[in-house]
Amino acid sequence: MATLNTPDNNNGREKFIELFQQYENGLNGQKNYTGHTIQKKAIQRLSNDINFPTRRNEDWKYTSVAGLLQPPYQQPKSVEIAAADIKPFLFEGLDVYLLVFVNGKYNKALSSNDALLKNITVQEIAAGLQEDGLTKATASVYLNKWASETNNSFMVLNTAFAQNGIFINVPDGLVIDRPIHILNIAFTKDEPAVISPQKIIVAGANSKVTVIETYQQLTDSQQTYFTNTVTQLLLKQNAIVDHYKIQDEGSHAFFINNTEVEQMRDSTYNSYVVDLGGKLVRNNLSSILKDSGTNTNLYGIYVGTNKQHIDNQTFIDHAYPNCNSNELYKGIITDNAKGVFNGKIIVRKDAQKTNAFQKNHSLVLSKNASMNSKPQLEIFADDVKCSHGATIGQLNEDALYYMRSRGLSKKEAVSVLKQAFLTEITDLLTIDIVSKKVEQMLIDKFMQLPDTTNELLN
């Protein structure tokens, strides 16, 4: 499906095509690699068949990418990072299998290789495509799909520019003893960079895995950058995956997260999305249920301040019977920030006995802040239980007064009440250290705000 073209978006598209040519000219002898053939296919698709969305596109009604497409993006330069540099971004006291991406490229030197001891495959996709094996068999299917079939132009863009993405395979039956922490660091300086991390994760039958993705900026550079990330997960029969995406990018970051999940029979996918940073944030999260008996739980927290724009799009495709999905997104929008939630659920004709529940609750705390919440249930089966609800509210003034009467400053009382609003979700974060860290990040963000951001309370 070709999207409508506007002069703005064409301009952005042409800049990426030009950037690809520069990149290709610098490749010398590596052009014939399998991976590069796919990249070329992706950029050709972008030049011929597909364009970036405009607000006339229903799924992008509340989010404009015109500003995102403006800067003269460059591929990120190679940078040297020491282990000490990433230390502040680790979960202190938590044992993990650490995989580090710097500017979208997997950095083997900074990553731990203990995962391999458990027969977990961690391989760079480009290298894996050079030889017959599991990586090639799995990755080539997805890469070709992203280059040729997807309607998501940002996934096509990621496919064209991704370098050193990784493929992770958790073998059948393995209950992993510690989380896999995929640490994504942006380290850009002078030029606006387009950062394109790519991950394909397969959870084997009866395996149990926790994946924590974090996205942060190392420097406090004021230069714009654009993180355009793709994560694919395949949950085989009876697999259980807990997937955290904690985004605290720099204030000049554009961030588009494309996460696609495929769930096989009786598998359980639990997603925890936390969005604190970034200038414009868009999460495209979709779960395609490919057999019956699955559970899908999507939880999200978003906190928008200043001029932040945070857009969560979720899509659950119930195509088989006896599947459960449950969504709860909660967020707080202040200042001139904007929030968007669009939860699409399709229950197809054969998906009898589906349970699909969705809730989105927001606090909108200033006159110039706004929240657009749109549940979108399309139900074609007749024996299902589905519900959705959205609320937009403010802080309880009596509670605020009560806390102040005990000595808390207004700012502190507001922070405590905001935190309390999100407790319903932070309590669900099953790893205590992660939960505590997220809570601290929330408090830090709340306490940064000037007192004037709660003008509706005056």
Partner 1 sequence: MLIIKNLHAAIEGKKILNGINLQVKAGEVHAIMGPNGSGKSTLAHVLAGREGYEITEGSVTYMGKDLLELSVDERAREGIFQAFQYPIEIPGVSTANFLKHTINAVRKHQGKTDLSATEMLKYIKEKAKMVEMEEGFLSRSLNQGFSGGEKKRNEILQMAVLDPNLAVLDETDSGLDIDALKIVANGVNQLKRKDNAFIVITHYQRLLDYIIPDFVHVLYNGQIVKSGDKNLALKLEEKGYDWIKEEISTLTTF
Site residues (vs partner 1, CB under 8 A): 396, 398-399, 401-410, 412-413, 416-417, 419-421, 423-424
Report in angstroms how near the CB of residue 16 gets to partner 1 at its nearest.
Answer: 45
CB of 194 to partner 1, least distance (A): 40
Which residue, 100 or 417, has its beta carbon nearer to partner 1?
A: 417
Residue 385, H or E segment: strand 385-393
The burial class, CB within 10 Å (0-12 / 13-18 / 19+), for 435 is middle
Distance CA 404, CA 387 (A): 38
Closest distance of CB 396 from partner 1, Å: 8
Cα distance between residue 288 and residue 174, in whole Å:
23
User: Which residue, 178 or 404, is less far from partner 1 as judged by CB?
Assistant: 404
Q: Which of 162, 165, 164 is nearest to 154 (CA)?
A: 162
Q: Which is nearer to partner 1, 344 or 404 (CB)?
A: 404
Name the minimum Å distance from CB 423 to partner 1: 4
Q: Rank residues 81 and 443 by Cβ distance to partner 1 and give the closer one.
A: 443
Cβ pair 196, 166 in contact under 8 A: no
Is the CB of 379 or the CB of 403 nearer to partner 1? 403
Supply φ then ψ for residue 147, to 5 degrees: -75, -35
**Residue 398 C-beta: closest distance to partner 1, Å:** 5
CB of 420 to partner 1, least distance (A): 3
Torsion of CA 248, 250, 253, 255, to 10 degrees: -10
Q: How far is the CB of 327 from partner 1 (least distance, A)?
A: 20
Q: Could you give the residue ranges of the DSSP H alpha helices within 4-150? A: 7-25, 34-48, 83-86, 125-128, 134-148
Q: How far apart are the first and last CA of the chain?
A: 49
Q: Encode 176-208: b = buried (16+ Cβ within 10 Å), e = exposed.
A: beebbbbbbbbbbeeebbbbbbbbbbbbbbbbb
CB of 435 to partner 1, least distance (A): 14
Question: Which CB atom, from 105 or from 330, has the smaller least distance to partner 1?
Answer: 330
Q: Distances in Å between the alpha carbon of 297 and those of 244, 351, 356, 392?
A: 12, 17, 10, 22
Query: Residue 85: is it exposed, middle or buried by C-beta count within 10 angstroms (0-12/13-18/19+)?
Result: middle
Nearest-5° Cα angle at 175, 174 to 180 = 100
Compare residues 130 and 409 and give the one whose CB is closer to partner 1: 409
Report the residue number, 69 or 395, with the smaller CB distance to partner 1: 395
Shortest distance, position 133 Cβ to partner 1, whole Å: 49
Compare residues 145 and 445 and give the one whose CB is closer to partner 1. Answer: 445
What's the rounded Cα separation, in Å, for the pair 344 and 314? 6
